[in-house]
Amino acid sequence: MAWRSSGTSNAELVENLWRNKLITQPLVKSAFLKVDRAHYAPSPSSAYEDSPQPIGHEATISAPHMHANAVETLLPFLLPKVEPGKQAAMGVASVKGQTGRPRRVLDIGSGSGYLTHVLAELVGDTGVVVGLEHIPALKRLGEGNMAKSAEGRHLLESGRVRFRVGDGRKGWAEPSPAGAQPGVGGPAATNGDNGETTEDNKDEAGGWDAIHVGAAAVELHEELVRQLRSPGRMFIPVDAGNGWEQYIWTVDKDDSGNIRKERLYGVRYVPLTDAPKS
Ligand code: SAH
């Protein structure tokens, strides 16, 4: 099913993902149509193939059908919060307990930056997406790829997308707005990373509505679960522990902080590791 979605243009690729029911929600489709995969893929000739492709440093840009499924799975936690009635009209289920806080999304192992951009198209003008990489050259790759389009440059300049360097297994605490330098990496601040809102930083209070992990973890890292907002959702590939199987898991935190973990389907991702020694 996966490979049948390749196209010769971005629009054709997205249309094929739609036809093959790998994208099922209109808002996801329009977000994918807005981001030209050729700006993020290693070679223009294979940019619209539905396959993972090497981007250096033993990393790959994941296959479009995987990006599609990740976004579909996280969608209720990405969209700007609107009244429940309107969200239904937009074609998505509303999520109980959501208030008007801007969305905050963490893309761990941002690699090419492609998914980071798609996520940013969904969170709306007030949302923030942080792409986190442990290899500085890949952080720069994602940023450089995003700067190829006017929309991408706007996302970087406005600070709505920021690429950072850090170990994704520990999550990320973004400095408060006053200290934030859009698009510039820096050490994690330790304040407000557990979803608490203070008067000073209520627009960008810590915690994440959605965490996407783009590399296979050895476990469902507790620190990442802790950094989820209530409600919030994580999408994470995890090694089954037998050396060859990996599965996508979702971890949901509900309004009251209760955790629900669900194993979805088998996958093949590069591992979430220590940064290579340089
Ligand atoms: N979503 C990216 C996937 C890149 S592959 C894309 O589609 O382009 C997985 C990425 O995870 C690699 O870029 C790798 O450098 C990164 N990675 C691996 N371990 C990591 C860690 N501990 N912290 C942050 N990033 C990590």
What distance in Å separates the CA atoms of residue 10 and residue 34, rounded to the nearest whole number? 9
Residue nearest to atom 7 of ligand 1 (CA): 61
Does 199 or 13 have the greater pLDDT score?
13
| Ligand 1 pocket, CB under 6 A | 57, 59-62, 108-112, 114-115, 132-135, 138, 167-169, 214-215, 270, 272-273
Within 8 A by CB and 6+ apart from 144, the residues are none
Specify if 39 maps to a domain.
no
Q: What does 163-183 look like in DSSP terms, one character per residue? A: EEES-GGG---PPPGGG--TT
Contact indicator for 91, 30 with CB cutoff of 8 Å: no
Residue 111 CA to ligand 1 centre (angstroms):
5
Specify if 24 maps to a domain.
no
Q: Which residues form the domain of 257?
A: 67-267
Band of residue 197 on the pLDDT scale cut at 50, 70, 90: very low
Q: How many domains does the chain have?
A: 1
What distance in Å separates the CA atoms of residue 64 and residue 67, rounded to the nearest whole number? 5
Specify if 135 maps to a domain.
yes
pLDDT at 87: 54
pLDDT for 33-77, tens place per residue?
999 999 999 999 999 999 999 999 999 999 999 999 999 999 999
Residues carrying an active site annotation? 62
Helical H runs in the chain? Answer: 10-19, 26-34, 64-74, 84-89, 114-123, 136-146, 150-158, 222-227
Specify if 272 maps to a domain.
no
- Token pair listed for 212: 């996407």
The chain-wide mean pLDDT, for the chain, equals 87
User: Model's pTM, two decimal places?
Assistant: 0.88
SS3 of 235, please?
strand
Query: Is residue 185 scored above 50 in pLDDT?
Result: no
pLDDT at 277: 82
Specify if 149 maps to a domain.
yes
Mutate to test the pocket of ligand 1, among 55, 71, 134 (most ligand atoms within 8 A of CB): 134
pLDDT for 72-89, tens place per residue?
999 999 999 766 665 555
Given the DSSP bridges, would you call strands 59-61 and 53-56 parallel, antiparallel or unpaired? antiparallel
- Token pair listed for 93: 């289920």
Specify if 247 maps to a domain.
yes
Mean pLDDT in residue range 183-202: 38
CATH of the domain at 214: 3.40.50.150
